[in-house]
Homo-oligomer: A and B are copies of this chain.
Amino acid sequence: MSIEKFFNPSSVAIIGASHTQGKIGYIILENFVKGNYKGRVYPVNPDVTPILGREVFPSIKKIQDRVDLAVIAIPAEKVPKVLRECVEKKIKAVIIVSGGFSETGEKGRKLEEELKKIIKNSETRVIGTNSLGVLNTSTNVDTLFNPREKSSRPPPGSIGFISQSGAIGATILDWLAEEQTGISKFISYENAVDVNECDALEYFGNDEKTKVIALYFEGVKDGKRFIEVARKVSKKTPIIALKGGKTEAGKKAAISHTATIAGSAKVYSSVFKQTGIIEADNWEELFDFAKAFLQPLPKGRRIAIVTDGGGFGVLAADECEKQGLELPEPSGKLKKMFRKSFPEYAILSNPIDLTGNANAEMYRTALEECLKSKEFDAAIAITLFQVPALGEELIDVIADLKKYGKPILCCATGGKFTIRLARALEKNGIPVYVSPERAVKAMSVLVKYSNWIKK
């Protein structure tokens, strides 16, 4: 059964909705009531004093209406009874936020087994236990219960984010919000009583709003299904994966963390290759790579680098060679054109170095001629905004170049002024990286995926 109702419910019941501000059951209800969610919301609590001005129901059974999604935030030992009621009410989606299950030892593990039995052969699907749940930036379904002032939500976007770990999820969402990198949907499946990475991959793979999937996981329980699903999904939607527990020390930690047998790095690397999954070495790469896919795929590996700082050009060139990307010299024809527009001391090889006197018009000429020509498949623009003549006007210039259908990635490093312009570029769909190496690596991933797709 699809997990659609988790993300697009017409009605939501918060079981364990709290009267006390700051409590988990209060925060989750608040997300729905104050967060622009358009469906119906039913707080459930034996104490039926209204919360946030809403009628409170003593139990889920007392709600006459159909409920699409139930969020359970009550002590672990009370969960089985309530879950049974959800099954009876034919609720399709249940998120169990409550902790105190398999992550705490034998007693919790048994309790979890009971939950599995309860939903067996039912229409009810469960995310959790011990889960942060889901975030859908387009419907404002949001079950995240960390205090908002410490933990922000990213804007709507095209990256689908799947995390086995809620802590990693919340932490990175907060970081993405600061970076203003957009997310389509987020899911944290934690103890995975039912819904797991495969369900999430399958659903995100068919989701129109999701153009690329970022996955953090420590291990899978059903390797065969994982390979099947990943192979199918990644043909349409690129999957970037960060795998925790690749070493002995990491595996040991993963067993403590999510009771996952992490499996060897080699096995996973081979699975990734077979399925077209792109492996990230750390979470910064996970999103460096993911946001690169907001750009079209390159048809080849011939990259034009345009820079206003020679040193960053050198570092980018180094990384291109490491990553197997080509930096062809511009043809005589192109150079002639550049010679007319650029000062004498501009360097017309590749990287094209416009020097510290660069302005937006020079960037336009350099990038446009390269992208228009048949000599290059993609461009990396290193735009160090500290130089005197470069500013705001570069945003439109670069955004306009999207019309050539070739990928453009930017590199910009600096303080407030740079950050503001980098965000503006990203708002226009141009991914920006703080180091030339990160931009080049992201480009190489586009090239690799593009090759994989062709095969």
Q: Which of B150, B167, B345 contacts A309 (CB 8 A)?
A: B167
A11 surroundings in chain B (CB, below 8 A): none
Q: Render A317-354 as a binary contact track against B, CB cut-off 8 A, 1 for contact.
A: 11011100001000000000000000011010101010
Say if the beta carbon of A112 comes within 8 Å of chain B: no
> Which of A177, A250, A413 counts the most B-chain CB atoms under 10 A from its CB?
A250
Is there contact, CB below 8 Å, between A384 and B314? no
Asked if B178 contacts A419 (CB within 8 A), the reply is yes
The answer to whether A311 touches B435 (Cβ under 8 A) is no
A349 in contact with B318 (CB, 8 Å): no
Shortest beta-carbon distance from A320 to chain B in Å? 6
Q: A246 is contacted by which of B100, B216, B282, B318 (Cβ under 8 Å)?
A: B318
- Nearest CB on B from A390, distance (A): 8
A283 at the interface (CB under 8 A from B): yes
Asked if A406 CB lies within 8 Å of chain B CBs, one says: no
Query: With the chains together, A17 CA to B100 CA distance in Å?
Result: 71
Known: A171-B384, A437-B282. A317 touches B177 (CB 8 A): no
- A453 lies within 8 A of chain B by Cβ: no
Q: Quick one: which of B254, B310, B317, B391 contacts A314, CB cutoff 8 A?
A: B254
**Is B310 in contact with A165, judged by CB distance below 8 angstroms?**
yes
User: In the bound complex, what is the Cα–Cα distance between A273 and B284 (angstroms)?
Assistant: 29
Q: Report chain B residues within 8 Å CB of A416.
A: 152, 178
Distance of A1 from chain B, by nearest CB (Å): 28
Q: How far is the CB of A383 from chain B (nearest CB, A)?
A: 11
User: What residues on B are CB-neighbors of A356 within 8 Å?
Assistant: 166-167
The contact sample of 12 A-B pairs, CB cut-off 8 A, is A105-B345, A167-B386, A170-B386, A171-B309, A171-B414, A174-B386, A242-B315, A246-B318, A247-B322, A250-B321, A252-B317, A253-B313
